[in-house]
Each structure stands twice: as C-alpha cells, then as structure tokens.
Amino acid sequence: MLFYLLCSADRGTALGIPPMGLSSAGYYGHIFWDSDTWMFPPLLLTHPDIAHSLVAFRRRTLEAARANARANGYRGAMFPWEADELGQETTPYFAVQNAHSEIHISGDVALAQWQYYLATGDSAWLAREGFPVIRETADFWVSRASYDSLRDRYDIKNVVSVAEGLIGVTDDAYTNCVARRNLEIGAAASRRLGKQANPLWTKVAARLHLPVDSTSQAFRTYEGAPDSTLGVITPLLSFPLGVPMSDRVKRTHLEQALARLEQEASGAMMGITLLSVDAAELGERALVDSLLPYGYRGHLRGPFLLLSETPTNDAVNFLTGAGGFLQQVIFGWTGLRLGESGLEPAFPPVLPSSVGRLVLRNLQVRGKRLDVVVDRSGRRILPHRDRTSR
C-alpha cells in the first residue's frame, strides 16, 4: 500500500495527492482532506521528504485560501473542499453545498502542519511555512463561529458533516472538535515561536460547544442529532483528532460504529480502517482481529491488488484507504503517537492474533532513524541499523 502512495507523490513538488492518486481521473484529480488526514501521516514517518510536498502544497496555496475566505465573508484562510493545483475551489456544481459548508478541511490542513512540526522538530520551518497556515486557519474559525450570549458559548452553524448526507447542521462533532484543535494548535505554535497569539483563539476554543449526551457523556453526531446517526463520525474524534475522553466514552463510540457496520455489512475503506485504531487503544485484540478483514477484503482488485473505495464499486487505487490501512498499523498496532517529544508511547501495543511480530524499519523522527519492533513481549524503539549489518 505504501508503494502505491509513493507512486503518486514525490519530494519537492508542493502538490497534494488526489483520492485515486495519479492513476485515473477519479474525483477529477482534486485534492481533498484525504491528502492531509489519511495519506500524509504514514508518509510523514516513512518518507518525510515526500510528506513535505503535501504540507508545502497548502502553504503554496494559502493566498487562494485567504481569497476563498474573503469571498465567503470570513477572515483568515478557508481551504477549499476540492482544490485544483492552484488551490482554487473546484467542487463540482452537484456538490456545491460541500464547497460552502464542509469546512472541517481547514482544521485538517492545520493539524497536518502541526504534525509535520512534531515529527521534524523544525522550528525554522514552523515559523516560515507552517505557522502562517495555522494562524490563518485559526482566524477563520474565530470568524466562522457564532457567539450565543444567552448560553455563553460559540456554535458553528450550517455545516456539512464528515458524513456528507448530513447537510446544514449545527455543531457537527468532528467539525467543532477539529476547529478547537486548530485554535489550540495556534496558541501552542505561538508559544513555541515566542509570538503573541490572538487572544480570541483560546476564548473561542474554551467556549466552542461540543454536542455531548448529558447521560452517557458520549458525543452526538451534531447538536440535536437523532439516534439514527450514532457512530457515523464519532470514532474519528479519538483518532486522528486525539480529543480527550474516557475509555468508556471511546468504547461507546466504537460500539455505535460497529453496530452500523454490522447493519450495513460494508462501507468505505477509509473509515473502517481507523476503527481498528480505536479498538487497539482500548486493548481489544478480538476487535482488532475482527476489523482487520473489513479493511481490505472485498477492496482488492486484480491483477495488481489495487484498492477500491468500497467493496461494491470499482473506483480503484483508492489511496485514501491505503493511508488509513497504514495508519492502523503505524499508530494502532504499535500504540505510538506523535507528541511534544516526537514519537511517543500512548498505550500498550496490540497486534492482531495473525501477526506474531511487526517491524517498522527506518522511521524518521526528529532527524533520527528508528526501528520499531512489536511482538508478544512488548514494544521496542531502537536506533535504525542497515539490514546488511544485522
């Protein structure tokens, strides 16, 4: 799967990766959040020089995102839902509501910029390239949120959810959580660089409403969402967003998603693969085992085993799914996360029963090359040694 990602990206290009890569005109070759949220993280640790091209694309097209925000009546930078190579909004007319309202992508872009900094520790890059993107997207959220003086809170209204059939909703859980994350990253990056942060970033982040069920404390899909939407997007809050929550709430989200999966029997590969990360965080090896086949069986198309978007279509070379599968291995089975000190243990590793030993060779973090070894005895992070010297 990494091979197919590498076939559609290269160092020094300042270009993102379309959902189907360079193999077809699927999705018109446009750049979505797939590039930042699904494909970028595995490239970041395995080929950071190539991953740099993906974050450089967003920096290169920042002025277009600023213009997009102004055209829609907001401040800062509003990254397009579907971008062309110039960073212009190119969502086709039949999905025009996504161009106007599927705004979580601006937070996704900012999170990728921050992840690049966490993985490299490159403060000069952060000041020159990453921070302008983080700052402008944080300013966008400040202008996009609406203050409710009666409830002393901020809401984000009229959005298209990650589950794109949910249109015109208020306080979509994923959108609000990634917006808060973006605002918090803005403040953290300012501190790291010794810059003055916009005080509205922390104010809006602290008061931004999150739709939480008062009884279970689990997240609703959006404010006032019916039970029929449970489990659609909430597993994404723990990973990749890293929203703090108890294991009980995390388990509730996962169980809701599994109930949907059982009912629907299949789904898009991009979402299913990350459920395995949540299962690993909870130490549920049996769930990791049961979810693994959903993440690739039925998606492979011969003769070269290209991935299809869903088991029921032939939209092939679906690199979003490849990125998700790789993330379940790198961040799920190993129990590792990117943090303030680089690659950090977050929870005990959980290998599927069918995998006795996992070795990730030559990961690159903070200028060091590392090998990660996971087996039944635990996890070891070792300095990389060339295989010929073993």
Return the C-alpha torsion angle 183, 189, 190, 195, nearest 10: -150
Q: Is residue 299 over pLDDT 80?
A: yes
85 is catalytic: no
203 vs 297, higher pLDDT:
203
Mean pLDDT of the chain: 96
Domain regions of the chain by residue span: 1-340
Asked if pLDDT for residue 167 goes beyond 60, the answer is: yes
Q: Quick one: pLDDT band at residue 262, thresholds 50, 70, 90? A: confident
Give the tens place of pLDDT for each residue, 191-217: 999 999 999 999 999 999 999 999 999
Active-site residue, 223 included: no
Average pLDDT of the segment spanning 45-65? 99
Mean pLDDT of 216-232: 96
At the top level of CATH, the class of 1-340 is mainly alpha
- Answer whether 0.95 is exceeded by the pTM: yes
Tokens linked to 207: 């008061």
Per-residue HEC secondary structure of the chain comes to CHHHHHCCCCCCCCCCCCCCCCCCCHHHHCECHHHHHHHHHHHHHHCHHHHHHHHHHHHHCHHHHHHHHHHCCCCCCCCCCCECCCCCECCCHHHHHHHHHCCHHHHHHHHHHHHHHHHHCCHHHHHHHHHHHHHHHHHHHHHHCEEECCCCEEECCCECCCCCCCCCECCCHHHHHHHHHHHHHHHHHHHHHCCCCCHHHHHHHHHECCCECCCCCCECCCCCCCHHHCCCCCHHHHCCCCCCCCHHHHHHHHHHHHHHHHHHCCCCHHHHHHHHHHHHHCCCHHHHHHHCHHHCCCCEECCCCEEECCCCCCCECCHHHHHHHHHHHHHHHCCEEEECCEEEECCCCCCCCCCCEEEEEEEEECCEEEEEEEECCEEEEEECCCHHHC
Q: Which of 85, 309, 340, 344 is an active site residue?
A: 309
User: Could you tell me the sign of the dihedral formed by the alpha carbons of 381, 382, 387, 390, in that order?
Assistant: negative
Q: Annotated catalytic residue: which of 63, 89, 164, 344?
A: 164
Report pLDDT for 319: 97
Q: Is the pLDDT of residue 266 over 70?
A: no
